[in-house]
Amino acid sequence: MSHLFNLGKRIRKLREQRGLTQAALADRMAISPSYLNQIENDARPLNRRVLGKLEQAMGIDFTDWAEDEDRRANQLREALNDPLFRGTEIPLQELRDAVSCSPRTAERFLQLFRAHQRLQADYQALAESIAGEERIKALHGAQFPYEDVRDFFYRRNNHIESLDHAAERLFETQGFSILELQNDLARYLEREHGIRVRLADTDTGNALQKRYDAGERTLYLAKPSSPSRRAFHLAHQIALLVYSDLIDNEIRQSDLSSDQARSIGRMAIANYFAGALLMPYKRFLDDAKRVRYDIDRLAGLYGTSFEQVCHRLSTLQRPGNKGVPFYFVRVDIAGNISKRQSATSFHFARLGGVCPLWNVHEAFSSPGTILRQLAQMPDGKTYLCLARTVYESGSSYLQPQRKFAIGLGCEVGHAHRLVYSTGLDLESPEAVEPIGVSCRVCERRDCPQRAFPPLSRRLSINENARSAYPYPFEETVDGQEE
């Protein structure tokens, strides 16, 4: 863009906060007071030359300011597209104007909307617990610290800017090589921090993948692990040892509600750093765009696993240089979600009972094959959903193999950027399959796979008629007309 508009009111407010008159600021910028008055009233746009003068006079980067307004406006648009609000979509420019004119009001609205989302999620968890799924754990809060951390990452759009930049700087300044990263990280720990790395055999009674002995200054890694996993554990230990202050600062700025959640948060942020070090942001994003987000090709380029690549793809949301916003999920054969992160508004079930129509379940019947699905959630948003199985072998015959399905997806508006959209009709309504979050909170009436009626609806019992769909229910919410 050659000009920037609609910053006038914020420039005036900033000028007044600095105690400057229009004449004083105009003098600093070497422009006329009347010109500045027109800028502050949005009667004239800011060209790049005048913008540079303004930035120098005020000591602020207005390009970043405008990008921040765009980010807030997009967050508002996503919030206002929630089914809670009905009516025509508000134009993005109108939302930008609202953020520009009243940034604190916009921020408080977003805080209120996030509180609404948390209440909805709590209702979902309670609904599932009433249904008998993990009742004791849910009601006594056994899983809540993990949920708290997951919500923290969701609020951050699954992107931790400070850790991503730190990992990128370390990779570049130390001259690490992707092809020799495991050895490079081990040499770095010994050279810079006096920590030796030793491979240790594990038996069936000791399943530790990593153990750091601070007294011995030795990091023990499981010998049977894959190179990508050992590199990840090395990077994770570097995060805890070298970037502890940075991690603690992120935890202080979070609103994690308990000591347990904060401890889990530290580990999760260290994991984030590890992924960022194995797959440095700009290099990885450039490669992802070049190969059209081909997961297997990226795994081959970076010597990482399918799961590691999928998780990393869900974090590429750096302001000014974003990748496709993905959700990432790991599901076991019983449908339990053990990992879930998202840079999208895709809804996950907090406990058991994941929708059986979602293709992550079908992945187990086609091991090693990437499945594709165009799926529409109850809120009307359509996603390109990918799913594939991954296997983690035990270190011995007596240790069972762990089996998971990895799900990765994005809104259909981004799907054309993925190699996996090849051959799909992204515009055809007939190609889209309706899915939900969980039967207990899903109100789709025509679902042949429904396992339970929705808790918000009353059952409709008619002895003289039988529907093809299980659990017919009334068109009212909690007994009230909609």
Residue at which a domain ends, from 261, 278, 295: 278
- Closest C-alpha among 358, 302, 357 to residue 329: 358
| Among 360, 365, 370, 371, CA closest to 338 | 360
CB contact at 8 A, 320 and 336: no
Q: What is the pLDDT of residue 124?
A: 65
Gap between the Cα atoms of 25 and 37, Å rounded: 11
Per-residue pLDDT reduced to its tens digit, 100-117: 777 778 888 888 888 887
Per-residue confidence (pLDDT) for residue 114, from 0 to 100: 80
Asked whether residue 76 is domain-assigned, the answer is yes
Tokens coding 337: 């979600």
Residues 428 and 452 in one domain: no
Q: How big is the CA angle at 381 (ends 311 and 295), to the nearest 5 degrees? A: 25
CA 75 from centroid of its chain's CA atoms: 14
- Residue 69 has a pLDDT of 67
Q: What domain range includes position 187?
A: 161-278
pLDDT of 313 reads 97
Task: Compute the mean pLDDT over every residue in the chain, rounded to the nearest whole number.
Answer: 83
Strand pairing of 432-434 and 371-376?
A: parallel
- Pair (258, 185) in one structural domain: yes
Residue 235: pLDDT band by 50, 70, 90 thresholds? very high
Length of the chain (residues): 482
CA distance 103 to 110: 11
pLDDT, one tens digit per residue, over 198-233 is: 988 755 445 678 899 999 999 999 887 788 899 999
Are 234 and 346 contained in the same domain?
A: no
pLDDT at 59 over 50: yes
Please give the DSSP secondary-structure letter assigned to residue 217. Answer: T
As a whole number of angstroms, the distance between CA 127 and CA 411 comes to 27
- Residue 81 is classified by DSSP as T
Give dist(CA 229, CA 231) in Å, integer.
5
Question: Could you give the count of Cα atoms lying within 13 Å of 215 in the half-sphere of its Cβ?
Answer: 0
Taking the C-alpha atoms of residue 54 and residue 61, their distance in angstroms, rounded to an integer, is 9
What CA–CA distance (Å, rounded) separates 182 from 100?
47
Judged against a pLDDT cut of 50, whether residue 133 lies above it is answered with: no
What one-letter code names the amino acid at 274?
A: A
pLDDT of residue 64: 58
Q: What is the mean pLDDT of residues 2-24?
A: 74
Query: What mean pLDDT do residues 25-49 have?
Result: 83
Question: What CATH number did the domain enclosing 195 receive?
Answer: 1.10.10
* pLDDT, tens only, 161-201: 999 999 999 999 999 999 999 999 999 999 999 999 998 87
- β-strand partners of 403: 391
Beta bridge partners of 402: 392
Element (H, E) at 403: strand 402-411
Q: Please tell me which residue, 135 or 115, carries the higher pLDDT value.
A: 115
- At 65, list the tokens: 């300011």
The structural domain count of the chain equals 4
Return d(Cα 337, Cα 147) in angstroms, integer. 12
Structure tokens at 202: 């594990």
pLDDT of residue 152: 86
134 pLDDT band, cuts 50/70/90, is very low
How many angstroms separate the CA atoms of 31 and 24, rounded?
A: 10
**Residue 369 corresponds to which amino acid?**
T
313 and 432 co-located in one domain: yes
Q: What is the DSSP string of 141-167?
A: TSSHHHHHHHHHHHHTTT--HHHHHHH
- CB contact set of 68 (below 8 Å; sequence gap of 6+): 319
Q: Are residues 379 and 476 in the same domain?
A: no
290 is a domain residue: no
- 206 versus 249: which is more confidently predicted? 249
What mean pLDDT is predicted for residues 440-462? Answer: 77
Are both 320 and 437 inside the same structural domain? yes
The pLDDT value given to residue 346: 77
pLDDT tens string 358-404: 999 899 999 999 999 999 988 788 999 999 999 876 666 667 778 99
- CB distance 252 to 229 below 8 Å: no
Q: State the CB neighbour count (10 A cutoff) for residue 416.
A: 12
Residue 284 lies in a domain: no
Following DSSP, what letter does each residue of 307-365 receive, concatenated?
HHHHHHHTT-EETTEE----EEEEEETTS-EEEEEESS-----SSS-B-TTSHHHHGGG
CB 182 within 8 A of CB 197: no
Average pLDDT over residues 408-421: 95
Inside any domain, residue 147: no
Both 265 and 339 in a single domain? no
Same structural domain, 352 and 270 = no
Q: Tell me if 424 is assigned to some domain.
A: yes
Integer Cα distance of 157 and 79 in angstroms: 14
Is residue 184 a part of any domain in this protein? yes
In a domain, 137, yes or no: no
Residue finishing a domain among 259, 278, 297 = 278
Whole-prediction pTM value?
A: 0.71
Verify that 188 and 251 share a domain, yes or no: yes
How high is the pLDDT of residue 82?
Answer: 73
- Say which residue, 287 or 333, is predicted with more confidence: 287
Do the domain assignments include residue 130? Answer: no
Picking from 80, 111, 142, the residue at the C-terminal end of a domain is 111
Co-location of 437 and 326 in the same domain:
yes
The verdict on 433 and 448 lying in the same domain is no
Greatest pairwise CA separation for the chain in angstroms: 85
Q: Quick one: 383 and 479 in the same domain?
A: no
